[in-house]
Structure 1
Amino acid sequence: ADHGRSATFLTELKNKVERCTTPVVVAGDFNLIRRASDKSSPNVDRVRMRLFNDCIADLALREIARVGARFMWMNK
């Protein structure tokens, strides 16, 4: 995935959610990770991970825990 626009995406998401005047649910596959342990390889972009976690914290979002497999997909 091209993460060249991840920061822009998170800024847009934050702006949209902050403008909401009613409760909101944010859901989707953002192709971003919260923790290094969420990845099946050691290649972790900690800056992008921090941006994602900061966005979640700033918006006071809560993650719904997955049940089942550790990863959603693998390259093998």
Structure 2
Amino acid sequence: ADHGRSADFLAELKTKVERCTISVVVPGDFNLIRWASYKSSPNVDRVRMRLFNDSIADLALREIARVGARFTWTNK
């Protein structure tokens, strides 16, 4: 994935969530990771990971825990 605009995406997400006057659910596959352990390789962009986690914290979002499969995708 091209992450050249990840910061722009997160800024837009922040603007939209902050405009909400009621509780919201923000679903989606953002193709960003929160933790290095989510990667199958040691190639981790810690700056982008921190930006994503800071955005989540700044907006007081909570991750809904998954039950069952570790990932939302499959190669089968």
- Which TM-score applies when normalising by structure 1? 0.89
Q: 1:72, 1:25 → 2: CA distance?
A: 17
More relative contact order in 1 or in 2 (CA 8 Å, sep 6+)?
Answer: 1
- Seq. identity, %: 85
Q: Any conservation in 2 of the 1:32–1:49 contact (CA below 8 Å)?
A: yes
Taking only aligned residues, the RMSD between alpha carbons, in angstroms, comes to 1.5
Q: 1:21, 1:61 → 2: CA distance?
A: 15
Q: Alpha carbons of 1:65 and 1:22: their partners in 2 closer, same or farther (altered >3 Å)?
A: same
Q: Alpha carbons of 1:51 and 1:38: their partners in 2 closer, same or farther (altered >3 Å)?
A: same
Size of the aligned set, in residue pairs, is: 75
- Which TM-score applies when normalising by structure 2? 0.89
| SS of structure 2 residue aligned to 1:61 | coil
Gaps of 5+ in 2: none
